[in-house]
Structure 1
Amino acid sequence: MTTTRRTAEATTTRTIEVPTTGATTDRRWPGRLSQISVRTRIVAVIAILMAVAMSGAGLLVYALEAARIERDVTDQIDQEIAEFRELTIDPLTGQPFDDVSRMLDVFLTRNVPGDDEMLVGYADDARPLRTRNPYGQEVLDEPAYQQAVDSPPVDGGTTVIASERFGEVWVTVVPVSNSDSQGSLVIVNFLEGEHEELQGTLSTYALVALMSLALITTIAGFQSGRLLAPLRTLEETARDITATGLSRRIPERGNDDITALTRTINLMLARLEAGFAEQRRFLDDAGHELKTPLTVLRGHLELLDVSDRDEVAETRVLLLDEVDRMARLVGDLTVLAKSRRPDFLAPGPVDLGQLTASLLAKARGLGDRDWRLDARAEGSTIVDEQRLTQAVLQLADNAVKHTAPGDTIALGSSLSNGTARVWVRDSGPGVPEHQRGSIFERFGRGDVHPGDEGFGLGLSIVQAIVIAHGGSVSVSDAEPAGALFELVLPTQEVSHGPHPDR
């Protein structure tokens, strides 16, 4: 196989044959990808990326070095041609060469070819004049070489020979002539040595790349196993957790993304555990409180003498009263159950001062007391007006139960520093220190006054409403005596400043 290449002296034309290979793809494996572990996928992706990167680097180096070899050979050919063109004077006579054979003989005598180069001169179809070369007569007897020399381009050029014996050989023919004779200088370059050196370098690179790939894959497998170990622990823990066993937690190690995920899941488990415990307590408390009225209903119905009209009428009144109590209990429990729902509140802008005055007017109907307004906020806030009204009136009703006619009950509000405060103050006996933590619990009650038919859910509802607003409720001693219940709600104020109203 031969191709023709022109040097800088003439236009070069080359024909390169590139073998093509077919490739087939197997489309059966994507469905099985979900069965492969994450660790294997990570290691496989790293190995593939490293293999592609190293292969790309190797191919790039090969292409660059091959181009460098061709560029160096071209420069060497151009240099030989330039030196040959500069030889115009015969050193013996000091006159221009009148014989092509003499000119070629002087050039071949002066120029010593490189290790992978051979210079051959032809004059008037005579026996070739040549210098030292690594292959000698064997190259001259190569049929491809003889064909390149016998039929060169008209203005000279380079022919690339793919010889089985010598590898890639570039044969450059430089024609020369004068009025009496003609000939040519043939520059032969052997690229096999350069290619063998390049292939040796690439073979070493491939071996090092394979060893590096194996090392990196091993390290990736070990490191990915360490990184994914918390996920395996998380999966095992999640498998063991049930609705009745939420107390387990996942060990937290390190300070990376997986540790953050572990911490988040532990917090979620804590919330779930608290939610389930709250539900169990709620059901236990509700069952306990409903048990008494149901027992009363059953007992009276079992002992009822249906033939006695007076007893039937009396029992009917008593049962209706118990049903009303159960309805109130169910209503209170429903409010507590809804307090954790996102739609429990319907917040909106509310003038806190006007709301305070309205609450005082509504509270006056709860009992014959000395109702007062301590202070009224000036400004608007974002709260659920109905729920806040429910909470404050519940505190007012509680104050009525613990005071006597003529005692003082006061309401007040303030708005400052992004905090809304609403309070109910009474002059009753107050709340003992040891009871202040329990009165806000469900069915938790302090001192029960005669005639108090509550269930101990009122203050729980108040606390649920305040917590839904993101605030808090507290009880302390009032001045000079009594109890002071204060609601603290974080909010955005428009204007603030308490306004005493006497």
Structure 2
Amino acid sequence: MTTPRPTTGTTEGARRRFARVSVRTRITVVIAVLTAGAMTGAGLLVYALESARIERQVTEQISQEIDEFRRLTVDPETGERFDDVGRVLEVFLTRNVPDDDEMLVGYVSGQTPTRTVNRYGQEVLDEPAYQAALDDLAGDGGTRVIESPTFGETWVTLVPVTDAQGDGALVIVNFLRDEHEELDGTLRTYTLIALLSLGLISTIAAFQSGRLLAPLRTLEEAAREITATDLSRRIPERGNDDITALTRTINGMLERLDAGFAAQRQFLDDAGHELKTPLTVLRGHLELLDPGDPEELAHTRELLLDETDRMSRLVGDLILLAKSRRPDFLVPGEVELAALTEAVLAKATALGERDWRLDAVARGRSVLDEQRITQALLQLADNAVKHTDPGAVVAIGSAVDDGQVVLWVRDTGDGIPPEDREAVLERFGRSQVRSGDDGFGLGLSIVSAIAQAHGGTVRIGEGEAGGAHVEVRLPVRTVDR
């Protein structure tokens, strides 16, 4: 006994084969199938309506002939029926001229026709199907539809007439072959036009879908050319439709990926460059170290610990800069600006003996990361301490200006020359520094990264009494209640 094979694999295979078909081909096929279905349905509907119209027209024609014959059988002056069936049929057949698709036949007492008006002649009367229809209708009359191999669809209607002399009948024969042939010819013409239209619509659909999907092909080509070392390729944006919106979204994603990879490369370059010197120092001192000299051993130990601390600070700063582009870098919350400013000033006084002042405090609340902003302001305060003498003025303040939260630190120290103000915001960018400054040039870049993470900027200017005036400008954000 054989076990029937499951159809799941076959279905899955068909789906996979269909998935390999291009989207352009799928769209074209779907449009062609829908169009063909619509045209076929329209053709069938027209055929059905026209067939019904033909039958209704024949029925009306038969009813008209019957009404005329009934009126003829009654004397219009006396209202009495004619008593000669043969004479009535003779008069009716003489007066009426049938249409091309109609035939009138009169019978008296079952004898041969008294008169026949038709275009086919005796051939119709000898048709077996016609004779059979007459036999069926001989009693009560009525209409029969026969399918003649010679004349096609034919309607046979018998109207019985009786009088004192005997019985008779009027037979109305309608031939529908010409009407059906005309309808079939119209349908063939419609089919030809429909096929030509289907081909034209399919061609237009293929062309239009190819044009609309062109950005997707460009996207595919761009994706193939993008590598981990080159994310600079962008997709051209044309139009303002859904595909253009997708293209814009993909370009934005590529922009973020490019920035992320650039930050990663910069982190590796910076770390490799800045760690090379302290590692060289460590290796050199270890190679020259005399284990038997306790004094040299203690001196070298102190020097190596100092270099290790410097490397730890450097690595910590670089990691902070690398994290600044991550979505979880900030933990925002609603903060009272006045309390934040006063708290930063209180913490900054421990950085050095300076004339610490509070310039101004902003009133109100805003959504920001309190710890990161505090870190940025303390970094600015530490820079101010490094570039001022003991007792110099260092002030901290905040305000709300034109929809922005402005936080600043100013001092009366050396200041930053205008030509260096852009450079110091970059990694390892440094201006003129005092002797003994062991910084790496990452402080202001960290401040700038925190501001940018909040959607803000850093501005460097000159204080009223000289020195530097550094502002952190952030957009005011409130909590929706």
TM-score by length of structure 1 reads 0.88
Cα distance, 1:183–1:54 mapped onto 2, change above 3 Å: same
What is the letter of the counterpart of residue 157 of structure 1?
A: G
Whole-angstrom distance in 2 between the partners of 1:490 and 1:404: 34
Q: Which structure has greater helix proportion? A: 2
> Contact conserved, 1:379 with 1:493, CA < 8 A, in 2?
no
SS at match of 1:485: strand
Residue 227 (structure 2) aligns with:
242
Task: Note the C-alpha offset of 1:182.
Answer: 2.4
Deviates more, 1:170-179 or 1:341-350: 170-179
Q: Deviations over 1:89-136 (max 9, x none)?
A: 358999630122222222222211111011112222122234321211
Residue 206 (structure 2) aligns with:
221
Cα distance, 1:414–1:154 mapped onto 2, change above 3 Å: farther
What is the letter of the counterpart of residue 43 of structure 1?
A: T
Deviates more, 1:215-224 or 1:253-262: 253-262
Deviates more, 1:266-275 or 1:146-155: 266-275
Alignment of 1:23-42 (within 5 A): 29-42=14-27
Q: Deviations over 1:142-196 (max 9, x none)?
A: 1111111112174322111011111000111122223443222211110000000
Alignment of 1:83-482 (within 5 A): 83-90=68-75, 96-152=81-137, 154-253=139-238, 256-482=241-467
Task: Note the C-alpha offset of 1:222.
Answer: 3.4
Task: Note the C-alpha offset of 1:53.
Answer: 1.8
Deviates more, 1:414-423 or 1:321-330: 414-423
> Contact conserved, 2:362 with 2:400, CA < 8 A, in 1?
yes
SS at match of 1:462: helix
Residue 497 (structure 1) aligns with:
none
Cα distance, 1:31–1:180 mapped onto 2, change above 3 Å: farther
Q: Deviations over 1:310-345 (max 9, x none)?
A: 222222222111111111111111111111111111
- Higher relative CO (Cα under 8 Å, sequence separation at least 6) belongs to 1
SS at match of 1:187: strand
SS at match of 2:413: coil
Whole-angstrom distance in 1 between the partners of 2:139 and 2:400: 104
Residue 43 (structure 1) aligns with:
28
Whole-angstrom distance in 1 between the partners of 2:93 and 2:245: 80
Task: Note the C-alpha offset of 1:86.
Answer: 1.9
What is the letter of the counterpart of residue 227 of structure 2?
A: T
Residue 54 (structure 1) aligns with:
39
Whole-angstrom distance in 1 between the partners of 2:290 and 2:462: 53
Residue 54 (structure 2) aligns with:
69
Task: Note the C-alpha offset of 1:255.
Answer: 5.3
Cα distance, 1:459–1:371 mapped onto 2, change above 3 Å: same
Q: Deviations over 1:220-267 (max 9, x none)?
A: 333433443443333233222222233334445555544454444444
Unaligned runs of 5+ in 2: 1-9
Deviates more, 1:299-308 or 1:126-135: 126-135
Find out whether 1:78 has 2:63 as its counterpart.
yes
Deviates more, 1:411-420 or 1:466-475: 411-420
Whole-angstrom distance in 2 between the partners of 1:64 and 1:235: 51
> Contact conserved, 2:155 with 2:173, CA < 8 A, in 1?
yes
What is the letter of the counterpart of residue 153 of structure 2?
A: E
Task: Note the C-alpha offset of 1:297.
Answer: 1.2
SS at match of 2:169: strand
Cα distance, 1:404–1:258 mapped onto 2, change above 3 Å: same
Task: Note the C-alpha offset of 1:215.
Answer: 2.6
Whole-angstrom distance in 2 between the partners of 1:168 and 1:206: 23
> Contact conserved, 2:260 with 2:325, CA < 8 A, in 1?
no
Whole-angstrom distance in 1 between the partners of 2:256 and 2:14: 42
Deviates more, 1:335-344 or 1:410-419: 410-419
Unaligned runs of 5+ in 1: 1-25, 495-502
What is the letter of the counterpart of residue 142 of structure 1?
A: E
Deviates more, 1:75-84 or 1:258-267: 258-267
Query: RMSD between aligned alpha carbons?
Result: 2.3
Q: Which runs of 4+ in 1 moved over 6 A?
A: 91-94
What is the letter of the counterpart of residue 342 of structure 1?
A: P
> Contact conserved, 1:90 with 1:103, CA < 8 A, in 2?
no
Cα distance, 1:148–1:209 mapped onto 2, change above 3 Å: same
> Contact conserved, 1:466 with 1:487, CA < 8 A, in 2?
yes
TM-score by length of structure 2 reads 0.91
Whole-angstrom distance in 2 between the partners of 1:488 and 1:153: 108
Cα distance, 1:124–1:398 mapped onto 2, change above 3 Å: same
